[in-house]
C-alpha cells in the first residue's frame, strides 16, 4: 500500500486508492461514499452503478454550489438584456456578480445589464414583516430606470422560508407595465441537493415564460439553437465565429451572450445542438415535444470534437452546399491546430490529469487532454446525474428520491398550431440508418479508460488525498480547490472560470488551451515551493519584549 510515499505512483491499484480514500471515514459515511466512487470497468452500463445527485453528507466539505447558483448564476446570468433581480440578502447577489466570467457583447442595441447588480437587499424587518412590498418597489425602480424588455426575479433561501409570494408580485407587475415581461424563479438555495436543481427550475420557467413568444421568421439558412453554452471566457464568441464561417444560423444560445428575443424566437430553429447536457436537456426535450425540433449532442471543446460536431450539424441538414462549406472550414482551421499539437505534444504526452468540474466539463475537456496525449486518470462531477456518467440509456432505471421529486416536472404537449416535425419519419429513419443519433448522450464513463476512478461529488479531503496518492501532473477544478492543490506542489487549472484565460472552445480555443497546459505541466515551480513548516517543521519564536 502506497499511502505514505511521496514518490509518484506509477503503478497504482484503483481498489487500493478507493480503500484509502474511504479509510478515515466512519463506517456509515464510508458505505455511502463508496457508492459514489466507481472504478471504471463496466462501459456502457444499462443500469446505474454509480450513485449521483444525492445529498452531500453533513460535515463533508463539498465542492458543490446551491440551487440559486444554478438558476440565477448559470442559466439566466449570461443573458444580457434581462434585468436579473435577486430577492434576498445582498450577499447572495454580490457573490454572484461577474464572478463566472460569462462574457457579453452589448451589440448594436447597447442593452447590457451584466455590469449591474440588482438586489432587494433584504433586511431583518423584511424577514419579519415580509418582503413582497419591497420586491414590488424594486421591480418598479428597475423598470423606471432602464425600461427593460424583461425582469426576472430570483428567490434566495429566506424568501421560501418566510413564504413571500413572488409569482403573484411579478404577475401583477407584468400586468401593470404591459410592455415588460416579469416572472419569477422559486430557486431558493435549499431547493435541491446542488445547483443542478436550479438548472431544472430555470429551464421550466424559461420554457413557460419566454420560449415561443416571437413567431417572426428570422433570416438565414440552417437554423439551429446552441443549448448549454454559456460563453465562459469567450467560448461562445469563438463558436459563433465558426458558425458564421460555415453559414450556420444560430437563432439562440442558451444562454451565453443571449438576449430576450433569442429565447422568444428559439422555437423557430430547426435543430437543437446540446452542448452541456446536464444543465439544459430539459429544454431540449420540451422543445421537441411542443414544437417538433429534434436535438443532438455536440461538443465544441477540442478541435476534433468541434469538427465532428460541425459535421453532425451539416449531415442533419443534409445539403451539399453546407456539407462542402463545413469541410472547407475544417480544412482551413485545422493546420494551425495541427502545427500547435506537433510542437507541444512531445512535451505533454503521457502526462496525467484529474478533472472534477460541474456536470459536463470533465467529459468535454477530456477531448482536449486526449489531443495533448495526456491521460485522464480520475474524473467526476460535482452534481452530474447518473445519465451524465453512464449515458441516457440508464434513465428508465434511475430511482427518483424525495429531493428530485421536489422539482416541478412540466407537462408539455404538442403545440396545436406550431408543432412541426422538422424531418419526416422517412428522413429520420434514413438518418438513423446512416448512424445519426438523436437524443443520445453516452456519458463520461464510456470515454474513460478501464481502471480509472470516476468520483461523484468529490470533497476537499478526498481531493487532497487523491493528489497525494496519485500525484497527477495537473489537477482541474474550481477556485475553492485551487490553492489547496497548488500547496501540494501540483499545478491547478480552473475549468469553471478558466482562471483568467480562454476561449478554449473551437479551433482557436484549442490552441489557446494546448499552450497554457504546456506551460502548466512543464513548469517546475510548484514542486519547488515549500511552505515554511515544510522546511522547518519545528518553528520557534520569541516575543519582542523578551
Active site annotation includes 69: yes
Q: What is the DSSP string of 122-176?
A: --HHHHHH-SHHHHHHHHHHHHHHH--SEEEEEE-HHHHHHT--HHHHHHHHHHH
Cell representation of residue 339: 502545427
Q: Is the peptide bond before 255 cis (omega within 30 degrees of 0)?
A: yes
Identified catalytic residue from 69, 246, 269, 305: 69
The conformation of residue 449, written as its DSSP 8-state character, comes to: P
Choose between 22 and 458: whose C-beta lies nearer to ligand CFM: 458
Q: Counting Cβ atoms within 10 Å, is residue 4 exposed (0-12), middle (13-18) or buried (19+)? A: exposed
The neighbour count for residue 51, using CB atoms within 10 Å, is 17
CA atoms of 539 and 532, how far apart (whole Å): 9
Rounded to a whole number of angstroms, the minimum distance from the CB of residue 467 to ligand CFM is 20
User: Position of cell 491499484?
Assistant: 13
Q: Are 39 and 14 in contact (CB under 8 A)?
A: yes
Beta bridge partners of 155: 87
SS3 label, residue 37: strand
What count of residues does the chain have?
Answer: 546
First vs last C-alpha separation in the chain = 48
Identified catalytic residue from 87, 199, 363, 422: 199
Give the closest residue to 498 by CA, choosing from 274, 266, 230, 290. Answer: 230
Rounded to a whole number of angstroms, the minimum distance from the CB of residue 230 to ligand CFM is 4
Rounded to a whole number of angstroms, the minimum distance from the CB of residue 228 to ligand CFM is 6
Choose between 17 and 296: whose C-beta lies nearer to ligand CFM: 296
- Our measurement of the distance from residue 306's CA atom to the centroid of its chain's CA atoms, rounded to an integer in Å, reads 18
Active site annotation includes 66: yes
Identified catalytic residue from 80, 100, 209, 277: 100
Please give the helix or strand (H or E) that residue 39 lies within, else none.
strand 37-39
Rounded to a whole number of angstroms, the minimum distance from the CB of residue 62 to ligand CFM is 13
Rounded to a whole number of angstroms, the minimum distance from the CB of residue 50 to ligand CFM is 17
Active site annotation includes 100: yes
Rounded to a whole number of angstroms, the minimum distance from the CB of residue 33 to ligand CFM is 21
Choose between 268 and 279: whose C-beta lies nearer to ligand CFM: 279
Identified catalytic residue from 52, 64, 66, 340: 66
The two counts, helices (H) then strands (E), for the chain are 23, 14
Give the closest residue to 329 by CA, choosing from 245, 420, 443. Answer: 245
Rounded to a whole number of angstroms, the minimum distance from the CB of residue 516 to ligand CFM is 16
The neighbour count for residue 129, using CB atoms within 10 Å, is 11
Q: Which residues bind ligand CFM (CB under 6 A)?
A: 70, 74, 100, 195, 228, 230, 232, 276, 278-279, 357-361, 496
Q: Are 369 and 376 in contact (CB under 8 A)?
A: yes
Q: Are 345 and 330 in contact (CB under 8 A)?
A: no
Strands 271-274 and 223-229 turn out to be parallel
Rounded to a whole number of angstroms, the minimum distance from the CB of residue 377 to ligand CFM is 19
SS3 label, residue 476: strand
Choose between 275 and 293: whose C-beta lies nearer to ligand CFM: 275
Strands 375-381 and 453-455 turn out to be parallel
Residue nearest to ligand CFM (CB): 358
SS3 label, residue 388: helix
CA atoms of 355 and 106, how far apart (whole Å): 33
Choose between 278 and 493: whose C-beta lies nearer to ligand CFM: 278
Rounded to a whole number of angstroms, the minimum distance from the CB of residue 460 to ligand CFM is 16
Rounded to a whole number of angstroms, the minimum distance from the CB of residue 319 to ligand CFM is 31
Choose between 138 and 455: whose C-beta lies nearer to ligand CFM: 455
Give the closest residue to 337 by CA, choosing from 374, 372, 310, 375. Answer: 372
Cell representation of residue 421: 416535425
Please give the helix or strand (H or E) that residue 132 lies within, else none.
helix 132-146
Q: Counting Cβ atoms within 10 Å, is residue 493 exposed (0-12), middle (13-18) or buried (19+)? A: buried
Catalytic site residues?
66, 69, 100, 199
Amino acid at each position: 500500500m502506497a499511502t505514505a510515499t511521496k514518490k509518484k505512483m506509477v503503478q497504482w491499484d484503483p481498489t487500493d486508492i478507493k480503500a484509502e480514500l474511504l479509510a478515515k471515514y466512519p463506517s456509515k459515511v464510508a458505505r455511502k461514499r463508496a457508492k459514489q466512487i466507481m472504478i471504471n470497468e463496466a462501459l456502457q452500463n444499462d443500469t446505474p452503478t454509480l450513485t449521483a445527485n444525492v445529498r452531500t453528507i453533513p460535515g463533508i466539505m463539498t465542492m458543490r454550489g446551491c440551487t440559486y447558483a444554478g438558476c440565477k448564476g448559470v442559466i439566466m446570468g449570461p443573458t444580457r438584456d434581462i434585468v436579473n433581480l435577486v430577492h434576498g440578502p445582498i450577499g447572495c447577489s454580490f457573490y454572484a456578480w461577474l464572478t463566472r466570467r460569462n462574457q457579453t457583447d452589448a451589440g448594436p442595441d447597447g442593452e447590457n445589464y451584466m455590469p449591474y447588480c440588482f438586489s432587494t437587499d433584504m433586511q431583518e424587518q423584511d424577514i419579519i414583516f415580509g418582503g413582497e412590498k419591497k420586491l414590488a418597489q424594486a421591480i418598479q425602480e428597475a423598470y423606471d430606470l432602464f425600461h427593460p424588455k424583461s425582469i426576472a426575479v430570483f428567490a434566495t433561501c429566506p424568501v421560501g422560508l418566510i413564504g413571500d409570494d413572488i409569482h403573484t408580485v411579478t404577475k401583477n407587475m407584468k400586468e401593470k407595465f404591459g410592455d415588460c415581461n416579469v416572472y419569477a424563479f422559486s430557486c431558493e438555495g435549499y431547493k435541491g441537493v446542488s445547483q443542478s436543481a436550479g438548472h431544472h427550475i430555470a429551464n421550466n420557467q424559461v420554457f413557460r415564460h419566454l420560449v415561443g413568444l416571437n413567431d417572426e421568421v428570422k433570416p438565414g439558412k440552417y437554423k439551429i439553437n446552441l443549448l448549454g453554452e454559456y460563453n465562459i471566457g469567450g467560448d461562445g464568441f469563438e463558436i459563433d465565429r465558426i458558425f458564421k464561417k460555415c453559414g450556420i444560423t444560430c437563432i439562440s444560445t442558451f444562454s451565453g451572450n443571449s438576449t430576450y428575443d433569442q429565447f422568444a424566437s428559439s422555437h423557430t430553429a430547426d435543430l437543437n445542438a446540446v452542448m452541456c447536457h446536464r444543465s439544459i436537456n430539459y429544454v431540449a426535450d420540451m422543445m421537441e415535444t411542443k414544437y417538433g425540433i429534434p436535438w443532438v449532442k455536440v461538443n465544441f471543446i477540442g478541435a476534433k470534437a468541434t469538427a465532428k460536431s460541425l459535421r453532425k450539424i451539416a449531415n442533419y441538414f443534409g445539403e451539399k452546399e453546407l456539407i462542402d462549406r463545413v469541410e472547407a472550414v475544417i480544412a482551413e482551421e485545422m493546420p494551425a491546430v495541427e502545427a500547435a499539437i506537433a510542437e507541444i505534444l512531445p512535451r505533454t504526452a503521457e502526462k496525467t490529469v484529474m478533472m472534477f468540474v460541474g456536470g459536463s466539463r470533465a467529459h468535454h475537456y477530456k477531448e482536449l487532454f486526449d489531443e495533448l496525449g495526456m491521460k485522464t486518470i480520475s474524473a467526476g462531477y460535482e452534481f452530474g446525474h447518473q445519465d451524465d456518467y453512464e449515458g441516457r440509456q440508464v434513465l428508465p432505471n434511475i430511482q427518483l428520491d424525495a429531493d428530485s421529486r421536489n422539482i416541478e416536472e412540466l407537462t408539455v404537449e404538442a403545440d396545436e398550431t406550431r408543432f412541426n416535425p422538422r424531418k419526416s419519419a422517412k428522413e429520420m429513419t434514413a438518418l438513423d440508418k446512416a448512424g445519426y443519433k438523436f437524443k443520445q448522450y453516452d456519458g463520461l464513463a464510456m470515454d474513460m479508460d478501464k481502471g480509472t476512478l470516476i468520483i461523484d461529488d468529490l470533497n476537499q479531503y478526498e481531493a487532497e488525498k487523491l493528489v497525494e496518492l496519485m500525484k497527477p501532473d495537473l489537477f482541474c477544478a474550481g477556485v475553492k480547490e485551487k490553492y489547496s492543490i497548488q500547496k501540494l506542489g501540483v499545478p491547478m487549472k480552473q475549468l469553471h472560470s478558466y482562471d483568467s484565460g480562454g476561449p478554449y472552445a473551437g479551433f482557436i480555443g484549442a490552441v489557446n488551451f494546448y499552450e497554457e497546459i504546456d506551460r502548466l505541466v512543464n513548469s517546475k515551480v510548484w514542486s519547488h515551493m515549500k511552505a515554511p513548516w515544510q522546511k522547518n517543521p519545528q518553528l520557534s519564536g520569541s516575543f519582542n519584549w523578551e
